[in-house]
């Protein structure tokens, strides 16, 4: 049904509220008291209602004002609509995960998807089977633009950027670990810094950079590592480490999975660099989105359980 704006030009919602109270109280003075208005104001509203509907609406009978047939008809039709409007405006419906059929677009890099989604998706399928998650590629270099432009509903990111419109929910501070294949590299854990720089490395980078924070920190200590290969994609990394005499420095959560799946050795990074802060980011215009806020709380709780070894990543 198409709404005809012209039909509503003479409609004042306050008049409809006055009508419902007049219908209930059947008295101008009592209606004025309930509406916290003076009797002249309610009498004026009744006059406008009579003009609007071309009907007396209420006929005085003794001390009461009896509704006309037209008033009874209007009350019967209007009350469900006003109740629905009140609910929509002032009483947002409770969110039910099991009933939602919403689609949410999440941005994240490939390593965050590899780490989180094998645990998150089965959990969501149990609690919110109708929720559709669409994951698209985002990086710390693109998160802000994608969120502000509406390409993403939410981003899982390690970005340190900020903006007035940005909302952030901290998830975890993640250390780094070093991986290598003990069949190719004769080293024992925990690595010393000398062991670490003695072997070739694979570098992970989101940009065409020739150095990283890690390398700059090494440089301050008078050391360098040899980079054999630089890639922005984590997916190829475990196979390369498995087949070659190289080391890779990666987020600790991935190291745990890959060490088990690819028979690799791991060690804490023998160098002090800031931890990776993984956080959920979204635009503040989504703060009233009950589905998105529920998802943020669910992800935070799930990661807390994983971190505390209640649930082990698969």
- Dist. CA 240–CA 233, nearest whole Å: 12
Element (H, E) at 115: helix 110-127
pLDDT digits 0-9 by tens, 111-144: 999 999 999 999 999 999 999 999 999 988 899 9
pLDDT band at 208 (very low <50, low <70, confident <90, very high): very low
Which carries the bigger pLDDT value, residue 246 or residue 307?
246
Q: How confident is the model at residue 207 (pLDDT cuts 50, 70, 90)?
A: low
* Average pLDDT for 235-253: 92
Rounded to 10 deg, the angle between the 69-90 and 13-25 helix axes is 120
Using DSSP, state whether 104 is helix, strand or coil. strand
pLDDT exceeds cutoff 70 at 209? no
Rounded average pLDDT over 30-51: 90
pLDDT of 313 above 50 = no
* Least confident window among 49-53, 89-93, 175-179, 264-268: 89-93
- Is 230:201 a contact under the CB 8 Å cutoff? no
More confident residue, 186 or 1: 186
- For residue 239, is pLDDT > 50? yes
Of the candidates 242, 277, 276, the residue with the CA atom closest to the CA atom of residue 262:
242
Instruction: Check if the beta carbon of residue 117 is closer than 8 Å to that of residue 135.
Output: yes
Question: What's the mean pLDDT in 83-96?
Answer: 72
Q: Among 5-9, 203-207, 279-283, name the one with the lowest average pLDDT.
A: 5-9
Residue appearing with tokens 């390409």: 151
CB atoms within 10 A of CB 299: 21
What is 117-130 written as a DSSP string? Answer: HHHHHHHHHHH-TT
Per-residue DSSP letter, 184: T
pLDDT at 5 (0 to 100): 54
Tally of residues, the chain: 314
Structural domains of the chain in order of their starting residue, each with its CATH number: 5-90 (1.10.10.10), 103-173+276-307 (3.40.190.10), 176-268 (3.40.190.10)
Q: Would you state the pLDDT for residue 233? A: 84
* Among 98, 134, 267, 89, residue whose Cα is nearest residue 195: 267
Looking at residues 77-91, what average pLDDT do you find? 78
Please list, in sequence order, all residues whose beta carbon lies within 8 angstroms of the beta carbon of residue 245, skipping any fewer than 6 positions away. Answer: 180, 181, 184, 185, 199, 200
Work out the average pLDDT over 140-163.
Answer: 90
């Amino acid at each position: 049904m198409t709404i005809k704006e012209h039909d509503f030009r003479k409609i004042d919602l306050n008049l409809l509220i006055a009508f419902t109270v007049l219908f209930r109280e059947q008295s101008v003075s009592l209606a004025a008291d309930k509406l916290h208005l003076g009797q002249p104001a309610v009498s004026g509203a009744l006059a406008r209602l009579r003009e609007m509907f071309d009907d007396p609406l209420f006929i005085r009978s003794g001390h009461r004002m009896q509704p006309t047939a037209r008033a009874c008809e209007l009350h019967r039709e209007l009350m469900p609509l006003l109740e629905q409007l009140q609910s929509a405006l002032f009483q947002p419906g409770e969110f039910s995960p099991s009933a939602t059929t919403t689609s949410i677009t999440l941005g994240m890099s490939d390593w965050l998807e590899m780490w989180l989604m094998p645990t998150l998706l089965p959990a969501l399928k149990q609690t919110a089977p109708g929720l559709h998650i669409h994951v698209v590629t985002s990086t710390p270099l693109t998160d802000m633009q994608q969120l502000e432009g509406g390409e993403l509903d939410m981003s899982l990111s390690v970005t340190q950027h900020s903006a007035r419109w940005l909302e952030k929910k901290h998830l975890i501070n993640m250390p780094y670990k070093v991986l290598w294949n003990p069949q190719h590299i004769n080293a024992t854990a925990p690595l010393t810094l000398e062991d670490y720089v003695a072997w070739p490395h694979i570098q992970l980078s989101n940009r065409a950079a020739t150095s990283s924070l890690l390398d700059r920190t090494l440089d301050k200590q008078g050391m360098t590592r040899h980079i054999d290969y630089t890639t922005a994609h984590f997916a190829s990394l475990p196979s390369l480490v498995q087949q070659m005499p190289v080391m890779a420095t990666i987020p600790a959560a991935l190291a745990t999975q890959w060490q088990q799946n690819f028979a690799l050795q791991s060690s804490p990074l023998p160098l002090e660099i800031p931890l990776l802060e993984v956080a959920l980011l979204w635009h503040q215009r989504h703060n009233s989105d009950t589905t998105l806020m529920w998802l943020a709380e669910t992800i935070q709780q799930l990661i807390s359980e994983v971190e505390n070894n209640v649930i082990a990543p698969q």
